Structure 1
Amino acid sequence: MKAKKVSAVLKAEGSGAEVKRLFPNRNHNGFHDPFVLLDEFFVEPPNEFAPHEHRGFEAITYMLEGHFTHEDNLNNKATVGPGGIQAFNAGKGITHSEKPGEEGLSRGIQLWINLPEDSKKSDPSYQFIKADKIREEETDDLIIREIAGDNSDLKLNTKIKYLDLKVKKDTAFQRNLNSGEVAVLYLIKGKIEGEYNLESGEGLLVEAGEEISLSLKKDSRLIFLRAKAHNQEIKLKGSFVE
Structure 2
Amino acid sequence: MTTSEDAANGSHPVAGEQVQHDTGVNSNRAFPTSNYADHLDPFVLFERFCIDPDVGFPMHPHKGFEIVSYLLDGGMAHEDSLGVANTAYAGEVMRITTGSGIRHSEFPAASAACNGLQLWVNLPRERKSVDADYEDASAEELPTRTVNGGTVTTVVGEGSPITLHTDVEYLDATVDSSWTWTVPEGWSGFCYGVDGSGTVADDTFSEGDVYPVTDATAEGDDESDREIKVTSDSGLRVVAVVGRPHGEAIRQRGPFVF
- TM-score range (shorter-chain normalised) is over 0.9
State how many pairs are aligned.
240
- C-alpha deviations, 1:110-130, integer Å up to 9, x for none? 000000111100000011111
Which of 219, 226, 238 is the aligned partner of 2:242? Answer: 226
Q: 1:25 Cα deviation (Å)?
A: 1.1
CA RMSD of aligned residues (A): 1.7
In the other structure, the counterpart of 2:223 is none
In 2 relative to 1, CA 84–172 (structure 1 residues): closer, same or farther, beyond 3 Å? closer
Structure 1: runs of 5+ lacking an equivalent: none
The 4+ residue runs of structure 1 with deviation greater than 3 A are none
| TM-score (norm: length of structure 2) | 0.88
1:241 lines up with 2:250 in the alignment:
no
- Deviating more after overlay: 202-211 vs 184-193: 202-211
| TM-score (norm: length of structure 1) | 0.94
Structure 2 Cα separation of the partners of residues 84 and 121 of structure 1: 27
Letter matched to residue 201 of structure 1: G
In the other structure, the counterpart of 1:196 is 203
Letter matched to residue 184 of structure 2: L
Letter matched to residue 240 of structure 1: F
Structure 1 Cα separation of the partners of residues 183 and 87 of structure 2: 37
1:83 aligned counterpart, secondary structure: coil
1:3 aligned counterpart, secondary structure: coil
In the other structure, the counterpart of 2:56 is 48
Output aligned runs, 1:59-78, within 5 Å. 59-78=67-86
In 2 relative to 1, CA 14–143 (structure 1 residues): closer, same or farther, beyond 3 Å? farther
Which of 114, 119, 131 is the aligned partner of 1:111? Answer: 119
Which of 36, 39, 47 is the aligned partner of 1:31? Answer: 39
1:102 aligned counterpart, secondary structure: helix
- Deviating more after overlay: 119-128 vs 201-210: 201-210
Structure 2 Cα separation of the partners of residues 57 and 152 of structure 1: 20
Q: 1:142 Cα deviation (Å)?
A: 1.2
Percent identity over paired residues: 27
Richer in helix (by share): 2
Work out whether residues 14 and 48 of structure 1, in 8 Å CA contact, stay in contact via their aligned partners in 2: no
Work out whether residues 14 and 49 of structure 1, in 8 Å CA contact, stay in contact via their aligned partners in 2: no
Letter matched to residue 45 of structure 2: L
Structure 2: runs of 5+ lacking an equivalent: 1-8, 219-225
Q: 1:29 Cα deviation (Å)?
A: 1.6
1:164 lines up with 2:180 in the alignment:
no
